[in-house]
Structure 1
Amino acid sequence: MRWDLFFEDLEDQLASEWEAERAALDTEAERLRISRVELRSRLATLVGREASDGGPPPSFELADGTTLSAALRALGADWVGAGPGSGTRGGLIIVPFASIRAIALPHADVLRTARPSERIAGLSDRMTLGFVMRDVARRRLPVSLGLASGRVFTGTIDRAGADHLDLALHEPGAPRRGGDVTGYRLVPFAGIAWVRVEDGSALSLA
């Protein structure tokens, strides 16, 4: 028997076993990593992506049954902002994570958002829905507010508490004047499907 061939065969077998073991460890490590990935971190990779970057925008199915297809413009602690391009005046739609039922993405984006991200956390990562609603109230911006039940209110947010807001009802797009207010609603954040801020460019969400 040629011992050199025998040992070469043993080395090949050992190398194959090491490769198999390393592949198994890599797979297990990847499964463990994926198990720790949160939805917010995946959405963060899509913020600011323009249509020219390739692929359609995300399509969100919301608690009230509506479908929202729009580019992501901002991301907070528990909400996402979607709407027109940066520097463009127009409505920004703020969607609480709790309202999202499903998100349609191209397969390339599904894979890309699952990869490790090197994104550095910023101030917006700590902005809660309540924080943003208080900013909208401070700026007296008219809003349309969709409830998870499907009902839509229009008006101005007078104030926002820890888990709810006060909405003065009036005609859409009109300024809040006492004589034009038709009623008031206290709306729990948990019941909100989406909030459209008519002039989203006025908000500081960077």
Structure 2
Amino acid sequence: MRWELLFADLESRLDAEERADVDAEIAERTRDERAAVVLAGRLAAHAGLPASVVLRGGGRAVGTVADVAGTWVLLDAPDGQAVVPLDAVAAIDGLGHASAPLTEVRRRLSVASALRELAEAGLPVRVETDGGAWRGVIVSVGADHLDLAVDSTMRAVPLGAVVAVRTG
């Protein structure tokens, strides 16, 4: 009987060690997977759901996540849409923990490509920066700036300064 207890105890300890090793491996893999998650992926998993984006400088863009690329998010709001460069995001309220993969094309789409679509559409926009906001029409988008027709003036706005471009 004593041998049976000894073997049962040994088997129990080995099972516990094996469970601890598996738990440690799961925790490590979870950390590694989480470390690879990008903000755009979190937003992509949140498509169709509301989000409140706190902008650099303290402003907000609130709406439903309509589209996402590697460097920007498009929000639908009752009064129009907002293209927000992810570099201009200070925080996002309301995101869950899920993440969705972006296609290679989506990862490479720049803010400039989204703004070129607005320029082609000829829609009136409000371009917001840390230094001010202007209403006008985007005439063209270069590699690092956009040209905004404001009344009778052409204003060049560096893309790095843009915190949001709103339609409506």
Please show how residues 40-189 of structure 1 align to structure 2 within 5 Å: 40-49=40-49, 57-84=50-77, 91-105=80-94, 109-111=95-97, 113=98, 117=100, 119=101, 121=103, 123-149=105-131, 151-170=132-151, 181=152, 183-189=153-159
CA shift, 1:139, in A, is: 1.7
Mapped to 1, the partners of 2:102 and 2:137 lie a distance apart of 34
CA shift, 1:123, in A, is: 4.7
One-letter amino acid matched to 2:6:
F
- 1:197 matched to which residue of 2? 167
CA shift, 1:110, in A, is: 3.2
Identity of aligned residues (%): 31
Q: Gapped runs of 5+ residues in structure 2? A: none
* TM-score, structure 1 as length reference: 0.75
CA shift, 1:121, in A, is: 2.3
Higher strand share: 2
Mapped to 1, the partners of 2:108 and 2:19 lie a distance apart of 43
CA shift, 1:66, in A, is: 0.8
Mapped to 1, the partners of 2:158 and 2:27 lie a distance apart of 43
**CA deviation vs aligned residue, 1:138-161 (integer Å, no higher than 9, x gap):** 221111110123x11011111100
Query: RMSD in angstroms over aligned alpha carbons?
Result: 1.9
Equivalent position SS for 1:48: coil
**CA deviation vs aligned residue, 1:47-99 (integer Å, no higher than 9, x gap):** 123xxxxxxx22111013212221111112211000138xxxx5110000010
Question: 8 Å contact 1:64–1:146 — kept in the other structure?
Answer: no
* Count of equivalent residues: 168
One-letter amino acid matched to 1:152:
A
Question: 8 Å contact 2:74–2:82 — kept in the other structure?
Answer: yes
CA shift, 1:126, in A, is: 3.4
Mapped to 1, the partners of 2:109 and 2:167 lie a distance apart of 16
